[in-house]
Amino acid sequence: MRDLRVTLVQSMLHWENATSNRVLFAGKFDGLKGNTDLIVLPEMFTTGFTMNTALAETMDGESVRWMKDQAARTDAAIYGSAIISEGDKTFNRGLFVTPDGSVKHYDKRHLFRFANETDHFSAGHERVVVEWRDWRILLQICFDLRFPVFARNKGDYDAALYVANWPEARSYPWSQLLIARAIENQCHVIGVNRVGMDGKGIHYTGDSVAIDPKGQVMASCKPANDCISHATFDANALADFRAKFPVGMESDRFELKL
């Protein structure tokens, strides 16, 4: 198992304008080729957190093609979520795209009822772990962060990714829950949030971080600023920590019903 170089891309988003957001992020990727293994973007990085499902794309649409091109250009995997339609359903779908053009996806399980996400989107029914460059990575989206049972490490992942549009008004829970997920699951955690104001007048300060299994911040973005931040996850240190402090051996058995 090799070390994993990760890049957090904290940014403002153009409201409901996928073309402008793709151009925005393509510019931010300049210089990343050969310098990272994984690039993490905010939730709904093409549109902002809108309930306008008329903006939905398909899995063979422009944004997925763009992610494939950018993953190939940077030689890195890219993870972020977008509005995707499939059949008669629409999902807030996390897209994990690798340089060979492979696309794996996770449909947001815990929809944010308080913004009426439950009225416009279908909830996912699968907990998704992907493998990338020897690392097993749990895919999560925003509100999922408040549901620790769903993310409980069963010895099946090494890092968890949370992409978000998490408002400034609740920034303290965001920061604390990310640390909790890392500590309780003995894993690395990345949380990438947007900044700026969206089309509904909601403010975001970002507070994006990479956290180690002991809950220590390895990399962070200054609040309210566009930012690119990097961290390297040490595979040997993770294995050593888990071996010396095997808290998972005392885990409670449970069944997750989705």
End-to-end CA, the chain: 31
43 is catalytic: yes
Position 250 pLDDT exceeds 90: no
Q: Which of 141, 186, 192 is nearest to 159 (CA)?
A: 186
Contact between residue 210 and residue 219 where contact means Cβ atoms under 8 Å apart: yes
Cα-based distances in Å from 88 to 58, 84, 91, 95, 121: 12, 11, 10, 19, 11
Share of residues in the chain with pLDDT > 90 (%): 95
Cα-based distances in Å from 106 to 66, 124, 222: 18, 7, 28
Taking the C-alpha atoms of residue 230 and residue 236, their distance in angstroms, rounded to an integer, is 19
The residue extents of the domains of the chain are 4-250
pLDDT for 248: 85
Q: Which of 58, 45, 51 is nearest to 17 (CA)?
A: 45
pLDDT in tens, 80-107: 999 999 999 999 999 999 999 999 999 9
Position 175 pLDDT exceeds 90: yes
Share of residues in the chain with pLDDT > 70 (%): 100
pLDDT for 255: 82
Structure pTM? Answer: 0.97
Helix%, strand%, coil% for the chain, nearest 5: 30, 30, 40
pLDDT for 258: 78
Position 215 pLDDT exceeds 90: yes
Position 256 pLDDT exceeds 90: no
Looking at residue 40, its amino acid is V
Position 253 pLDDT exceeds 90: no
Q: Which of 57, 104, 108, 221 is catalytic?
A: 108
**Per-residue pLDDT band at 61 (split at 50, 70, 90):** very high
Instruction: Provide CB contacts within 8 A for 41, sequence distance 6+.
Output: 9, 11, 25, 78, 79, 80, 163, 192
Q: Which of 16, 43, 117, 168 is catalytic?
A: 43
Quote the mean pLDDT of the chain: 97
Q: Which of 57, 104, 142, 227 is catalytic?
A: 142
C-alpha of 56 from chain center: 19
Q: Which CATH class is domain 4-250?
A: alpha beta
Position 257 pLDDT exceeds 90: no
**Per-residue pLDDT band at 20 (split at 50, 70, 90):** very high
**Per-residue pLDDT band at 165 (split at 50, 70, 90):** very high
Cα atoms in the 13 Å half-sphere on the side-chain side of 222: 3
142 is catalytic: yes
pLDDT for 84: 98
Torsion of CA 6, 104, 213, 171, to 10 degrees: 80
Q: Which residue has the higher pLDDT, 251 or 6?
A: 6
